[in-house]
Structure 1
Amino acid sequence: MFRILITDDEPMIRMGLAKMIKQAGLFDCEIRQAAHGEEALQVVEAFQPHILFTDIRMPTMDGIELCRRLSEQGRSMRIIVVSGYSDFEYARACMDYGVKRYLLKPVGRQELHELLLKLRATEEEKPNLSLVPVRELNDWAMRLESAIWELRLPDVKELLEAWSRRYPAFSLMPEQTAELFQEMLELIVARMNARGNGTLNLPHDIFVSVSHNKYFESLAYAIEMLMSRIKERRSGKRKHPVEEAKAYLEENLRREVSLEEIAAKLGLNPSYFSQLFKQTTGQTFIQYRIRSKMELAKRMLEQPGNRITDISYEVGYADHPHFTKTFKKITGLTPSEYRSRLGIE
């Protein structure tokens, strides 16, 4: 049975998160709650949770101090920070204490479900890396992330060479080695995202191999891709990712642009992008896309020379009845009725 602890100073958030975890049905679990970090430390001592969800801003003891204390105690639980988009810079300190997973408030069922699946796989299927000190792994990740962020390629190469001399001392099996390198990569990306925009995703996963060189080749290639993305973003002034997404969608309203397509274009994790888009616009991506298409249709309907069937195709609806139904759902009028209101026959 999995033991889960939820720490937040708002009772409704604690109870809501606990309810969603139970309803997901992925864990046979016991869930306990704490109102702040100090209470959480007491619960951890007696409860020994496998997974901890914690807010950042709490009275008495905040989430960062809680993570620091748990790290000092050598606790091996998985920690998920639940924060607002504006708290990412503040949450950066958590990287030093092994935190590499985040949920964006308000927490959605789909995002939570995906995270729980990953946590279940991590806890049930992967070997235990207790032979690798958490502090040391965090230190290597911190040094590598700093060199990557500052585009210091010689230092990156030097750190990878030093790591290649160090990690054999842990005497890990191939499966454990793959997890170790994956953990390193995830920590690096998490530290980068905590710098403020949270918009980089993993270039790829690191898989089990019989060759030690393969692990380093895979890690080096991932780092190369990360550095390339950083260079690309710094070549011009970058807008807020949601504004970029909206602009891209406006340019492509005549076809069915998917959330995954835009997320990939922006270098975002689709799940994270979905949360961020809804939090920023108040609408899901699909809702926004449909409304944008109908706004374009309205502008085209205002031009007497445009036939309604042609407009339907122009906004990406090959099925004309479906277009009519959608337009009426959004505007309250059929396309013909909308034109009649404008005095256009």
Structure 2
Amino acid sequence: MRILIVDDEPIILGGLVKVIGAAAPVGSEIREAGDAFEALGIMKEYMPDVTVTDLHMPEKNGFEMMEEAKENGLCERFIILTGYDDFEYARRALRYGVVDYLLKPVDKEEVSRLLSQVNRDLPSMDSTDCPPHAKRILAYTRMNYMNDLSLDHLADLMKLHPNYISNLFKKVTGDTFVNYLNATRIKEAQKLLSAHRDLPVGEIGRRVGYENKHYFNKVFKKYTGSTPGAYREEH
């Protein structure tokens, strides 16, 4: 299980990492962030199963962070921590699909119970409850299409079997992973060709994930019916 811990006070954050690390299920991975902006950046790569977060942080608070994370499919589950024993905060938190609401200082046994509950609720490879996995995988692909992506990379990142991800892609999108990735890249390339007419075709190819210009031209023509240069002239 992947756990992200967010708190803007370094001493408290360090304490939370120790307590949660000791309470988490065996084999769990833990990352930490000092504010909401850093947390959202980490989520794009890490894709946590659950985020344990403070609510009261400067510039972007915990509620705003949770809303943005859920909108972008970066994390579905949250455990919130606060020093304010306020029912309104608890009630508002429930709207964001929060697992639970805990007051500081946290109780190790309570955290252990919650994390065990989250771990039990995570979809397994043979589960038919695939939307949470699908949303995370699709979100990661959309945000990292320009990088060197493969089924093996996604499988390692998500701790899932490549065949499971392949079948999930087909089930949710109606397409294969390779076709989905190429279609996403070519769509972004079309935008760049229209918006940045001064950029060389090879550079646009690199920006969307194709290091080889000739291969980029070949894939672009396959998906659009024209070469990048011809598309630029037409648009």
Q: Which has the higher contact order (CA 8 A, sep 6+)?
A: 2
Structure (1 or 2) with the larger CA radius of gyration: 1
Q: Which has the higher helix share?
A: 1
